[in-house]
Amino acid sequence: MANQLEKPGDLRIGVFVCECGLNIAGTIDCAEVSKYAETLDDVAVVVQNKYTCADPGQNEIKKAIVEHNLNRVVVASCTPKIHEPTFRECVADSELNPYLFEMVNIREHCSWVHQNEKERATEKAKDLVRSGVARARFLEPQTEMEVPVTKAALVIGGGIAGIQAALDLADGGHKVYLVEKEPTIGGIMAALDKTYPTMDCSI
């Protein structure tokens, strides 16, 4: 698919505006944001979804990539910390490089914090979408580097949590280094007589 532009200016950006139920749509006029996104240069298609992260929402993205031959995808929804990986995988499924995806946060940074200022929040959402589309124009496909993972774990702390984590990993076949500051493991738990709710001894 169109990962690299055939010629400069041949941008085809898809914008997906998420309502997140009422989390976003309760404050922001998503239809107005969508209508505005259509007016932006290089935007080939705008789709408004109830839940963009759910399967039907993702399918809309995949469908639009094929139908409109999109080479950039912008999703205006929540924080990238939750769903950036979701949408990167989604566009990758349609054989678009995941780095040609851009996320605009209109939930945590907009609808949730401006609940009493609907018009201004909508204006802000439009500005953020415009900024996201502007960035998307300059996105480039990237290749992620794969690194090996050393097959050993370091567990710091030999209290009940460290002991359990170390045993689980070691029982699973992994080498574990358990580092404890004190001369013995056991931590606070070892100083307890009985523990609830079983009322049995702690060691």
Site for other proteins in 162-181 (CB under 8 A): 162-170, 172-181
Cβ proximity to other proteins: between 7 and 188 the closer is 188
Cβ proximity to other proteins: between 70 and 163 the closer is 163
Q: Does 149 bind other proteins (CB under 8 A)?
A: yes
Q: Does 138 bind other proteins (CB under 8 A)?
A: yes
Q: Does 8 bind other proteins (CB under 8 A)?
A: no
Q: Does 159 bind other proteins (CB under 8 A)?
A: yes
Cβ proximity to other proteins: between 59 and 142 the closer is 142
Q: Does 72 bind other proteins (CB under 8 A)?
A: no
To the nearest whole angstrom, how small is the minimum distance from the Cβ of residue 39 to other proteins? 12
Q: How far apart are CA 128 and CA 131, in angstroms?
A: 5
CB 105 within 8 A of CB 62: no
The residue count for binding other proteins (CB under 8 A) is: 90
| Cα separation of the two ends of the chain | 60
In what helix (H) or strand (E) does residue 201 lie, and over which residues does it extend?
strand 200-201
To the nearest whole angstrom, how small is the minimum distance from the Cβ of residue 69 to other proteins? 22
Q: Does 35 bind other proteins (CB under 8 A)?
A: no
Structure tokens given for 134: 């502007």
**Within 91-130, which residues bind other proteins (CB under 8 A)?**
99, 105, 107-110, 112-117, 120-121, 123-124, 127-128, 130
DSSP 3-state of 156: strand
Measure CA 29 to chain center. Answer: 23
CB 17 within 8 A of CB 34: yes
CB 61 within 8 A of CB 46: no
Pick the binder of other proteins from 6, 7, 9, 151 (CB under 8 A).
151
Q: How far apart are CA 113 and CA 92, in angstroms?
A: 32
Pick the binder of other proteins from 2, 5, 44, 134 (CB under 8 A).
134
Q: How far apart are CA 4 and CA 11, in angstroms?
A: 10
